[in-house]
Structure 1
Amino acid sequence: MSDVDREPAELRCGASGHGEHAPKVDVLSARDVPLGGPRAMTVRRTLPQRARTLIGAWCFVDHYGPDDVTDTGGMDVAPHPHTGLQTVSWLFSGEIEHRDSMGSHAFVRPGELNLMTGGYGISHSEVSTTRTTILHGVQLWVVLPEEHRHTGRDFQHYVPSPVRMDGAEVRVFLGTLAGDTSPVRTFTPLIGAEIILEPRSTTTLDIDTGFEHGLLVDHGDVRIAGTTLHPAELGYLGTGNDTLTLANETDTTARVVLLGGTPFEEQIVMWWNFIGRSHEDIAEAREAWQNASDRFGKVDGYDGDRLPAPALPNATIAPRKNPTRH
């Protein structure tokens, strides 16, 4: 998915702090971002924001739906570029057609992971299909570390099997959790999983103490480390925890997405759909896209024009980092 903010912020993101006396859970609220014209579907964005820019290497979290495509027209994101990141597409309902400049033509369906790597440069389009009535899911980005940020284009598809636990069902699409490991390659240690919690249930998961975690609530009220999260909220938990206990406090099933990874220590600049290490990196990528450079290739099969890049800011934006935890 493209970041289609008309005035995207430029972020320089650094390592997060982890103080001894910090509150256990930071609650991050989402902001609404339209994906196009006046009838466009709206996504709820919880990363990046001023309170937090990274959770592990996860740098972008959009949560959308349930969206009736007869009202909004669904998703129609024209060909657009990416550098220095991986895109992670995960649906709860509906279907999205993916095309990219590698020649990949695939469909994103509920419970199936589509992961695209845009290191040095890739472009793609995303369109909800005519078979879609209700569109509902998440779109996530993972920043690539310096040694891999110019890696070649790649596309992977994976269907995780559900893992049953007391009070929960877990689908691990990246990393290892609940005794299951995804075979999909990442460039930093990560976890990504959908968890469905039974009504009035409590589930405890073993987690990596070196990871920080974010829990995005899709529906239901879910308690984590003594803090109740409501739908569309993202709860952040720092490193040093070996278990994670989730409690569904409602009379219906609840659904969450668990994201985590080792704290990302590198400074990055993130603007529009590009991630680099300097303002100059971003300017070069933008110029290459505007000039239809071979760097991003061409997306075949999309009916329409590609997205133009927004204008760069007139000055280099000051770094924005995760706050020091006290």
Structure 2
Amino acid sequence: MTVSVNPSDRGAYGEYKITFVSHSDLKQGYDRIYLQFPQESTIPCTSCAYAHCSDCFLINGTRVGGACPVYDLPKTVYFTVPSPGIKANETVEILIKQSASFQNPTVPGDYTLKVWTDQEPEKAQAPFTITSTTIQNLAASADPEFTNANIMLSLDFTTGSPNKQGSYLIEVFTDSEPTPVSVKIDFKDKDFVRTLLETTPSEPNGKNGYFVSNVIVKLIAETNTSETPTTYYKLDEGDYKVFIDPIVINDGIHTLKYYSKTESLTEEEKSVTLKVDTKPPDITLNIKDLTYTYENTLSIRGELSESGDVYINGIKLNVLSPLSFEGIYALKDGQNFFHLVAIDVAGNRNEKLLTVVLDTTQPLFLR
């Protein structure tokens, strides 16, 4: 297991990359991965929002809904495993981007992050280091540049800023003037307006980043000013509207753009793609659900209404263009059963049970 933080400065918002090997299969949409940060870290309360940014949280490159809190364990969050799941002995990489606003401890030093899963509850851990900021680019000038004179001495340098707003003192003294003099500097948080995006379900519940149920989207505006924010959105090629009520996203691949503004601030436009497919694929076949035949060999041919995979009795068939498939089967006398399953790219399933009766008995003619 490894943990890296960038930047590693104390009090900074860091990008965290955690890698480990899962020794058990983890099912998509079911199993969870847990991370426990040190007590000195700060985890934002908005971390469970689906799109605090559109891709704040990734597992093996796939976006996940958010880092949801574990309320009985401090500084602990969990992720639900995304599609296509994780195989045993597969390397897992969790990426928490800097825009997720996970704040480093404010005191430099060595810290430990722990990870475990539903299938492997024993905690693994790895160290990471938080560093101190340093004074850089020091420059000085004196006016006048003479001895035995009262001079104006100017010092310029770069240093890290405080991690909390408030008043701070800078004290100055010299060898010949040891009594400190001080000046107060006030720091405040930078004014911002931003939009959080929450979805129900909270993350894609199908395969390949698809939702397999209609998605309800809620946009939440935040600002640290006294001004009232207003949120605007547009879906696909529509016009911008003021967000008032939750948005229902139906089948299709949709682009949602949105931003918030106050009287003095305007957020940069954000964009997220939502893929929704709630319908299973239709199957057209060359035989009925109950078929009688006198031939020892059966050809099952069909066509799908959309891209997907086809299985008959657990064996995957090749799907050809245009979305057609065929399987050849030897029949035994009497009833033969065929379980056909079609699965589209979103994970929706359509199943059929076919019964084929082989009857080779010659008919008798009665006088």
TM-score interval (norm. to shorter): under 0.3
TM-score of the two chains, using structure 1 as the length reference: 0.22
Larger RCO (CA under 8 A, 6+ residues apart): 1
